[in-house]
Structure 1
């Protein structure tokens, strides 16, 4: 009788625990780079805009209506992404993270034109997620915080968030029905130009206060922003050295309550691991852009990401990465497709700093198994864009450096060590174009910073 009562009690406890835990989803979309002037009759030499008939030689290739790797996004590309997102887990989507660079890099319109472009994208997302909150952050191409932007997004943000967003571009969202808090940063204030400004100092003070309060309230936190800490061959340094170091110290200090960090900006699919005394304590995911991307080494297709998480604790359980084969779409119709599922693709038992640290170790090409894992990573990094450029062991090491060495000095030493190893090998493993580009860009940037 006692045994049966114990079993019954255990069943009740397990049942209550399972019903209390709730699985939800959230989208992460980033880097629309919407260009209202894109046209399929455009010229890639003029950013896919209509050429001046008098000044055009007439020799340029045809463009697709869904965009081109050489240019920013067409409206039809972004509308196709919105239509697809509406079909996926719409009943269980809790919110949407929208991490900046809304308008095109080379959009030359005046301020009114830029706000109109942002308004058009806001209206599109409002229709797409009519019953969900979208949490936007500012990218480096977006306008500075203002009353105009505040009014544009006030239907998504509570009063407390609007007050800090209006003046600083940052805010926090307290989830009333769970212990998950969203902290949206203005990473533009971490740049070399802005890092010593009054607003930058206020954001640091605000961030410390918010994280201290979350610790006291036993809340878990998502940190959301445009540009992540660390370095990469596509963007050597987005944060000033001081801001980068301070951000990493902040994350280490509050690692126990940080359930995830989500950024965009790179137009690539990658991740970062943050260490404290060589122990992995936190992680960062960078989602690929909706905009297509062309780079001398690593171009990429448009991407969308859907996260699966525990809505009570904020623990990220998995994500599914979706992509659009842009070349195929322009030949026929836009068919967004599931590219991969994180845990299945890499064979992860969970999403954690330790599991991602172990994955990073496997990206250093050595055994055939490690080589296979790296090639899978590189395929994801490029969002299934086929590249004619190879990526050898030194190139793989550069990716490893970017993932595991987020301090600027540590990253530089890591990349230099790879170059030294090549030299010591007597050029038996010549520099591939990706690594050569990385080394040239990196040292050019160092020279500029020193001057």
Structure 2
């Protein structure tokens, strides 16, 4: 609770009067990952901290129930802040449930009302759905992954962007509609924490700390660009001073005028034929951690993983895609790992 309070106070001091839409991360809890489906001291205490940010007493009560809420910006966009930690495969408290805290039922109602009202929606949460590479890592329990994606597809005409943390890698995906057309772009922000994971037996490869600014249309919510910044950890340690630099601007690197679903679909299609473009993505994926080492180590099988991971959201479709690209007997280039993420909250400032 002290950590949550310190971070909240730091943001309020740095951004006075600015609305912050915060969501809890899996390591904002103790024991880590074990977020419950019942009211709890930490839900209530965090709701008290963020009450003025949320600014709606009914939604503060939703947060007390399960750390989720929805609000509208002054420009009319609807923000939905979810607690997807409840669906995380490391949460043993919710493994056998169907709808912990009633969040799915609540989400469907909010989206139906938003559609009736003509609202566009931005969704933010910590743990992302889908299959994540390298390593074919599944974050959600299968039944939660299916339901979350089904709801999102149903309302893909009003959801214009999803923003997640947790992965510690810089990445994006595209949720396709049932017919295969572009649905909803999904963006995973890299972490300030300089490891992908850290468990008692092993630490993941280090990477540079990173933070991003997302440019978006305030009326439609459509993401327009990402300006990704990073701190060269080696140089900063050597000089005993942090030095934040622009790593890339997505519009320049990927040649699109925005980051809408159609534009992200264009980028993903280009990756299949333009090796150098996918090389850029892989290099940025690890926040320039190892120069070109990561790219050079990525062979045909590795690239097939990346290409399938962009749009295949469950194990069956991912495996089918992968085998089609590299042959039925091929093995994944990276073994799947049980990963305990050391991540914090995902913040959206508007």
Q: Please give the secondary structure, in 2, of the residue aligned with 1:404.
A: coil
> C-alpha distance in 2, partners of 1:154/1:234?
39
Aligned pair 1:399/2:306, yes or no?
A: yes
SS of corresponding position for 2:137 = coil
| Residue 330 (structure 2) pairs with residue 410 (structure 1) | no
Aligned length: 313
Question: Given that residues 168 and 196 in structure 2 are in contact (C-alpha distance below 8 angstroms), is that contact kept between their aligned partners in structure 1?
Answer: no
Deviation of residue 139 (structure 1)? 1.4
Alignment correspondent of 2:14: 128
| Structure 2 residue 171 is matched with structure 1 residue 270 | yes
2:204 & 2:327 partners in 1: Cα distance? Answer: 21
Which moved further from structure 2: 224-233 or 350-359?
350-359
Residue 285 of structure 1 and its aligned partner are, at CA, apart by 0.6
Q: Secondary structure at the match of 2:60?
A: helix
Q: Normalized per residue, which structure has more strand? A: 2
Distance 2:205 2:303 in 1: 13
In structure 1, distance between residues paired with 2:219 and 2:167: 30
Is residue 2:78 matched to residue 1:186?
A: no
Structure 1: gaps (5+ residues): 1-114, 424-430, 446-451
Query: What is the Cα deviation at residue 421 of structure 1?
Result: 5.9
Greater relative contact order (CA < 8 Å, ≥ 6 in sequence)? 2
Identify the match of residue 289 of structure 1 among 186, 191, 197.
191
SS in 2 for 1:142: coil
Q: Secondary structure at the match of 1:205?
A: helix
Using the TM superposition, give the Cα deviation of residue 160 of structure 1 relative to its aligned residue in structure 2, in angstroms: 2.1
Structure 1 residue corresponding to 2:28, chosen from 111, 122, 142? 142
* 2:116 matched residue in structure 1: 216
- Can you list the C-alpha shifts for 1:276-322, whole angstroms capped at 9, x where unaligned? 21211111011101111257886421111111122122122112111
Contact 2:160 2:260 in 1 (8 A): no
Determine helix, strand or coil for the equivalent of 2:71.
Answer: strand
Query: Alpha-carbon deviations, 1:73-111, whole Å to 9, x = none?
Result: xxxxxxxxxxxxxxxxxxxxxxxxxxxxxxxxxxxxxxx
Q: What pairs with 1:67-216 in structure 2 (closer than 5 Å)?
A: 115-143=1-29, 144=35, 145-158=42-55, 159-175=57-73, 177-192=74-89, 193=92, 194=94, 196-197=96-97, 200=100, 202-216=102-116
Could you state the TM-score of these two structures normalised by the residue count of structure 1?
0.65
Flag the 1:120–1:382 CA change in 2: closer, same or farther, 3 A: same
Residue in 1 that maps onto 2:162: 261
Number of the residue aligned with 2:217: 310
Q: Secondary structure at the match of 1:266?
A: strand
Using structure 2 for the length normalisation, give the TM-score. 0.83
Give the superposition deviation at 1:181.
Answer: 0.4
The reply on whether 1:378 has 2:273 as its aligned counterpart is no
The CA deviation string for residues 361-419 of structure 1, in whole angstroms up to 9 with x for no partner, is: 2223x5xxx11101111111111112534111211111111111012321233344455
Alpha carbon RMSD of aligned pairs, Å? 2.3
Report the Cα distance in structure 1 between the residues aligned to 2:99 and 2:12, rounded to whole angstroms. Answer: 29
Cα distance change, pair 352–198 in 1 and its aligned pair in 2 (3 A): closer
Match in the other structure for 2:271: 363
- 1:290 alignment partner, SS class: coil
Relative to its length, the structure with more helix (as a share) is 1
Give 5+ residue unaligned stretches, structure 2.
30-34, 36-41, 198-202, 340-350
How much does 1:349 deviate? 2.7
Q: Report which of the two structures shows the higher radius of gyration computed on alpha carbons.
A: 1
